[in-house]
Amino acid sequence: MKKIAIVFLLLTLAIYGHGQTENTMKEFDANFVHTVYFWLKNPDSEADRTAFVTSLQNFLDNSAYAKTKFIGTPPRASRDVVDGSFTYSLIVTFDSAEAQQKYQDEAPHKLFVEESSKLWTKVIVYDSMGL
């Protein structure tokens, strides 16, 4: 039981340590919002989760185009309409659709996909532009 609690604590620190904080928070930019959901092949594997988050955070830290950056995990579903089946979510904002395309083509993004694609079974992307 103690081992499970330690693993949970480490995962929590890894996840929330890489999300936005008061010091790193940037104003949310509604020009172009890129939302990605990832389903890991082995979501219970601490090694896979650590490798994924490390690669994702490295990518975001080195992206020249991503503005607001948020990495999340599903909370406990409180309603039937909440889909908590994913392992991680990513929300990134951009100045424009053109900036988002440059992000897709930049070296840090390509490295992330190369390093992490073997870890996931499914990825769904939702892109939105503000009204």
- Check which CATH number belongs to the domain holding 123 and give it: 3.30.70.100
CB count in 10 Å sphere of residue 116: 20
CA 69 to chain CA mean position, Å: 8
Q: How many domains does the chain have?
A: 1
What is d(CA 20, CA 58) in angstroms, rounded to the nearest whole number? 14
Segments forming the whole domain that contains residue 11: 2-128
pLDDT tens readout for residues 2-32: 444 333 433 443 444 444 444 444 566 678 9
Its pTM surpasses 0.85: no
Give me the residues paired with residue 127 across strands.
Answer: 34
Residue environment code for 89-110, b if the CB has 16+ CB neighbours within 10 A, otherwise e: ebbbbbeeeebbeebeebebbe
pLDDT of residue 7: 39
